[in-house]
Amino acid sequence: MSEAIRILLADDQALVRGALAALLDLEPDLEVVAQVARGDEVLDAARSSGAQVALLDVEMPGLDGIAAADVLRRELPGCRALIVTTFGRPGYLRRALDAGASGFVVKDTPAEQLADAVRRVHAGLRVVDPDLAVESLTVGANPLTERERGVLRAAADGGTVADVARATFLSEGTVRNYLSAAMGKTGGRTRAEAVRLAQENGWL
């Protein structure tokens, strides 16, 4: 039999990592060789373990899974990234593929399908959750600029315009302009609603 596909798991929830490892290790051709809880530990762990496929959660401390996929693409192209997330948001899918991820599936994917996704990604194919692919096409591309995203992120904790201006090193007038543009693009009637809509679509 050919050598097992070497897998790295990156998820900040130990229970999720353990469950995924147990499921994947049941497959004779798959082997979990490393587990990390932070996105900024992915590259070193992939290098030292010789992982061929990295299963990355989106929301992790240190570095999110999409940014980690981008680092792998640039620094260790022999290790392919498969995003496995609770957050099936169309904006995340588009950003993940742009970052070089080879696949995107949600965590409630049946075990056999997840194992098959790992095999397909390892073989150089692209795997995308079909429902999410349809939703992504319906929602369309992220309409927000990098600056608008930064201002919305800074506004997410409910601070004043002055607070956001300090956090982003912009003038209050510039912050108001970016917030106004972001509200127009998301359809949010308030700042808080614009933040919520952008988060729900995976645009932040």
pLDDT digits (tens, 9 = 90+) for 83-134: 998 877 778 888 898 999 999 998 888 889 999 999 999 999 999 988 877 7
- Distances in Å between the Cα of 202 and the Cα atoms of 18, 58, 88, 121, 192 are 26, 10, 9, 23, 15
CATH number assigned to the domain comprising residue 162: 1.10.10.10
**What DSSP state is assigned to residue 66?**
H
**One domain for residues 102 and 168:** no
- Strand-pair category, 5-10 with 127-128: unpaired
- Distances in Å between the Cα of 16 and the Cα atoms of 37, 57, 62 are 10, 10, 18
At residue 7, φ and ψ (nearest 5 deg) are -115, 140
Q: Which residues contact 59 (CB under 8 A, 6 or more apart)?
A: 12, 65, 85, 87
Domain boundary among 97, 122, 139: 139
- Distances in Å between the Cα of 158 and the Cα atoms of 18, 142, 179, 191 are 36, 23, 13, 9
Q: Tokens for 148, please give them.
A: 């608008």
**One domain for residues 127 and 170:** no
Alpha-carbon span 97 to 118, nearest angstrom = 16
Percent of the chain's residues with pLDDT above 70: 98
**One domain for residues 123 and 163:** no
**One domain for residues 164 and 77:** no
| Domain extent for 153 | 146-200
**One domain for residues 132 and 156:** no
Residue 107 or 2, more confident: 107
**One domain for residues 95 and 17:** yes
Domain boundary among 92, 109, 139: 139
Model pLDDT, residue 141:
75
**One domain for residues 86 and 158:** no
Domain total for the chain?
2
